[in-house]
Amino acid sequence: MSGFALTLSGKAALFLVPLALLAAYFAYRRTTPAVAGPLRARLTALRAAALLLLVAALCEPVAVLTREVRGRPVVALLLDASRSMEIADVPAAGGSRGARRDAAIGLLEGGGLQSDLAERNTVVPFLFGGESVAGADSKTDLGGLADATDLAAALGGARQAGDVDAVVIVSDGVRTAGGDPVAAARAFGHPVFAIGVGDPAPAKDLAVTGILASEVVYAGVPSPIVATLRGRGLRGQRFEALLEENGAVLARDSVRFPEGSEVAEVRFRPSLDGEGVRRLTVRLPTLPDEATAENNAQSVAVKLLKKKIGVLVLFGRPEYDMAFVRRALAAEEGIEVDAWFADATGTLRKGAGAHAPPAGAISEEVLYRYDAVVLGAPSSAVFRQLSPRLLASFVERREGALVVIAGDQGFRGIPPEVWPLLPAAPPSERGAPLATRPVVAALSIEGEGHPLTRLLPEADANRALWRSLPPLAGVAALGEPRADAVILAYGRERAAAAPSADPAAETGVTSGAPLLLISRRGGRALLVAGRGVWRWEFLTWGAGRSGDAPAHLWGNAIRWLVSRDEFKRTEVRPEAPSFRRGERVRFFARVLDENYRPVDDAALRVTLTRADDSTFSAEVSLASSGVPGEYRGAAADLAPGLYRFRGDASRQGLSLGSDKGEVVVSERSPEFEETTMDEATLRAMADASGGRYVSLADYKGGALGIDLPERTRDVRREIPLWNHPLLFLAMVGLFVTEWWVRKRRDLP
């Protein structure tokens, strides 16, 4: 449809047109000499026309010409470029099977799909894989672009790329990422036509589908590694499975798929040497006629430690705190515990563990085989068996860790030679050694960011957990904290400790009786001034809540205390020890200042290198997560392998600290977890959108039945008139004509 319109801008015309007409009328109402009526009318008309043209120019008139244009409908051709298109299950000449990728390329070029669509439509081809959609041409190689398939994102990418009337998707339909493709097709607003590439019947395939292993193992200690295997079309057959590290075979075992099952397990118990992150691979043989060999191997990352942490729990008498601490430490991975106590005669007795106490006093050889000593309910009987000088040597020379827990008499049983090892001075002899009033724990500002007291990962949840712990029976008296001491928690009476109904509402406190204190003199020391710490776990279970988190305090404490490195206020680590191929490797960082307060304006950069490729380097910037002091970021498109990372934090150009570690990217790709093409999903997408599904084997010219109407659109052309030369000439012509007539009649 064609049309014409004239538009004026502004509202000035509503006032200027009447003024122009009035000005023309009054210009010739009385003249000298007088003119006859017909001449006056002609002169008034000339003046009015000229003034109206001037008003029109001031209003910027624009002429709009509209015409209807017909065109061909636009069809987006979406080509699956994910790695599952490398699976070879498409029947080919001679009874062999070809790759889905090759079949798709053959459909485009030799099969005539694009030419068939182009007869009546404008075809715009795209490649899709993962979360991305890219323009393509008919000659594009589809191999190996992405380790994920997001069909919903493919439709969204086609919509964003331009106005389309229909979509033709060529894919195996195996979705490994993103949202529901059927819902996306239903909401697309245009028909989706699908061509399925691949065999909907399961093909022969041997795969490692999962590995179960402990994240932490110990040198020289056999640790189980269990791999789950899948064998389609291989029931009753036997294969050899290998456990490898860097190509070297660590163990091998024979596995047979039982009749009636496609699933089997293989178990290894390797004994590893050394320390650090290790990448272990379970590998199966490649069969000559299986669908793909990409899923025949899978890796797992394990952290190898030299040995377990040895802890001696030594109490002045048997009591609940001893049993609780011993049980909590024994439940922690990587900690070995011996528990001894002094009986009524002062003789040391075995409470639990692999080693019994010596018949006499504890020797240096006995004490030095432990990494940490937990001393509870200190008494003179204990220090008759454990020399204060030997304990000082253990802390200062061996750099062993020391934990001291208050007893019924507070810390009165500690001899003067031991107090210099602890974070506080001894209490006054005049006061009561133990205040027997219920107190609840409240984290200090430093305690909120310290790893020793971090029982839950989220700061608010961790604060709430501490403030909801059951009250202790009392708190021991102490002298002044030493200059190098850090108070992690205070003991406060319940009325003073809970002013808010929300236990997480009050942030780090600065007052109360010191409850948890740390310091370092050679080795690190923790002073626990609370009495009855068993209540934190036992009464929490009794209140219907889990007591697991409070019990982890002791494992946290021992690991931090025995660490030979200073506490890193900049912590950078991957969210998991290993990631699948094609998965984004996500990093987490926490940055604290010298007072353990969160730093919110730090710049975080993670540099990645490969253990087997000195030329590889990549950088990832971490951004604030919205939680104070926490940062997150991810690296994409990392090939399988063992990576070393270094994270650096800075603020205004000044370094805040660094951290380093290792992370593994496994060969495991989600694209090969399911090797059978998903015909049902492609058919459902077509049905939900009003399109049609056709398999590759059934495709022939016109099989999709695409019959789209012509596109119609209005083409609009705007012509500005206010600065057009004809308008200027007309206006000048009218004024000149009026002047000429006036001169002929001798008018001024």
Arithmetic mean of pLDDT, 141-162? 76
Q: Are residues 49 and 159 in the same domain?
A: no
Of 251, 276, 298, the one marking the end of a domain is 298
Q: Judging by beta carbons within 10 Å of its beta carbon (0-12, 13-18, 19+), is residue 710 exposed, middle or buried?
A: exposed
Q: What is the pLDDT of residue 8?
A: 54
Per-residue pLDDT band at 547 (split at 50, 70, 90): low
Number of Cβ within a 10 Å radius of residue 732: 12
For 408, the token pair is 């019924």
For residue 530, being part of any structural domain is answered with yes
Q: Judging by beta carbons within 10 Å of its beta carbon (0-12, 13-18, 19+), is residue 30 exposed, middle or buried?
A: exposed
Q: How far apart are CA 443 and CA 449, in angstroms?
A: 9
For residue 303, being part of any structural domain is answered with no
Q: How far apart are CA 591 and CA 649, in angstroms?
A: 8
Q: Are residues 8 and 36 in the same domain?
A: yes
Q: How far apart are CA 655 and CA 371, in angstroms?
A: 33
Q: Are residues 638 and 723 in the same domain?
A: no
Q: What is the pLDDT of residue 25?
A: 67
Q: How far apart are CA 457 and CA 718, in angstroms?
A: 63
Q: What is the pLDDT of residue 143?
A: 46
For residue 703, being part of any structural domain is answered with no
Q: How far is CA 74 from CA 164, 181, 346, in A?
A: 5, 21, 93
- Beta strands 570-574 and 335-342 are unpaired
Q: Are residues 137 and 254 in the same domain?
A: no
Q: What is the pLDDT of residue 704?
A: 86
CATH no. for residue 174? 3.40.50.410
Per-residue pLDDT band at 480 (split at 50, 70, 90): very high
Range from 278-287, 562-571, 619-628 carrying the lowest mean pLDDT = 562-571
Q: How far is CA 597 from CA 368, 448, 489, 508, 591, in A?
A: 36, 8, 15, 10, 8
At residue 57, what is the residue type? A
Tell the residue number behind the tokens 């946290």, with chain if given.
556
Of 282, 292, 280, 229, residue with least CA distance to 255: 229
Judge whether residue 620 has pLDDT over 90.
yes
Handedness of CA 455, 460, 463, 465 (dihedral sign): negative
Q: How far apart are CA 669 and CA 674, in angstroms?
A: 10
For residue 623, being part of any structural domain is answered with yes
Q: Using one digit for the tens of pLDDT, what is the confidence trace for 485-516?
A: 889 999 887 654 444 444 444 545 556 889 99
Arithmetic mean of pLDDT, 645-666? 90
For residue 710, being part of any structural domain is answered with no
Of 195, 172, 212, residue with least CA distance to 292: 172
Q: What is the pLDDT of residue 736?
A: 80
Higher pLDDT, 53 or 12: 53
Judge whether residue 257 has pLDDT over 80.
yes
Any residues with CB less than 8 A from the CB of 157 and at least 6 apart, and which?
Answer: 126, 128, 132, 133
Q: What is the pLDDT of residue 248?
A: 92
- Contact in structure between 351 and 340 (CB atoms under 8 Å): yes
For residue 624, being part of any structural domain is answered with yes
Q: Are residues 423 and 546 in the same domain?
A: yes
Torsion of CA 70, 71, 73, 79, to 10 degrees: -160
Judge whether residue 82 has pLDDT over 90.
no
Question: CB-hemisphere CA count at 13 Å for 562?
Answer: 18
For 346, the token pair is 């002062």
DSSP E strands, 57-121: 62-71, 74-80, 88-91, 97-99
CATH no. for residue 464? 3.40.50.880
In percent, how much of the chain has pLDDT > 90?
Answer: 27
| DSSP-derived secondary structure letter, 351 | E
For 33, the token pair is 């000499």
- Answer whether the bond into residue 598 is a cis peptide, omega within 30°: no
Q: Are residues 366 and 430 in the same domain?
A: yes
Handedness of CA 503, 504, 505, 508 (dihedral sign): positive
For residue 706, being part of any structural domain is answered with no
Number of domains in the chain: 5
Report the b/e string of 216-248 with b at 16+ CB within 10 A. Answer: ebbeeeebebebbbbbbbbeeeebebbbbeeee
Q: How far apart are CA 619 and CA 624, in angstroms?
A: 17
Question: In whole angstroms, how large is the CA radius of gyration of the chain?
Answer: 41
Higher pLDDT, 228 or 54: 228
Q: How far apart are CA 378 and CA 243, in angstroms?
A: 50
Judge whether residue 73 has pLDDT over 80.
yes
Residue by residue, DSSP assigns 368-418 as TT-SEEEEES--HHHHHHS-HHHHHHHHHTS--EEEEE-BTTBTTTS-TTT
Q: What is the pLDDT of residue 649?
A: 94
Q: What is the pLDDT of residue 463?
A: 84
Arithmetic mean of pLDDT, 177-200? 91
Q: Are residues 619 and 738 in the same domain?
A: no
Q: What is the pLDDT of residue 468?
A: 84
Of 562, 588, 605, the one marking the end of a domain is 562
Arithmetic mean of pLDDT, 566-570? 66
Domain that holds residue 25: 3-68+718-744
For 291, the token pair is 């669908």
- Beta strands 523-528 and 513-521 are antiparallel
Q: Are residues 615 and 735 in the same domain?
A: no
Provide the mean pLDDT of the chain.
83
Q: Are residues 272 and 134 in the same domain?
A: no
Of 562, 578, 593, the one marking the end of a domain is 562
Q: Are residues 50 and 160 in the same domain?
A: no
CATH no. for residue 240? 2.60.40.10
For residue 705, being part of any structural domain is answered with no
Arithmetic mean of pLDDT, 444-472? 81
Arithmetic mean of pLDDT, 130-143? 54
Q: Using one digit for the tens of pLDDT, what is the confidence trace for 326-378?
A: 988 988 877 899 999 999 888 999 999 989 999 989 999 999 999 999 999 99
Arithmetic mean of pLDDT, 160-171? 87
Q: How far apart are CA 672 and CA 83, in angstroms?
A: 8
Three state DSSP letters for 703-742: CCCCCCCCEEEEEEEEEECCCCHHHHHHHHHHHHHHHHHH
Tell the residue number behind the tokens 């020289």, with chain if given.
220
Q: Which of 182-186, 228-232, 730-734 has the highest mean pLDDT?
A: 182-186
- Contact in structure between 403 and 375 (CB atoms under 8 Å): yes
Q: How far apart are CA 719 and CA 147, in angstroms?
A: 53
- Beta strands 309-315 and 225-232 are unpaired
Arithmetic mean of pLDDT, 656-680? 86
Q: Are residues 136 and 256 in the same domain?
A: no
CATH no. for residue 578? 2.60.40.1930
Of 423, 557, 537, residue with least CA distance to 469: 537
- Contact in structure between 734 and 726 (CB atoms under 8 Å): no
Judge whether residue 282 has pLDDT over 90.
yes
Q: Are residues 377 and 480 in the same domain?
A: yes
- 256 forms beta bridges with 238
Higher pLDDT, 559 or 503: 559
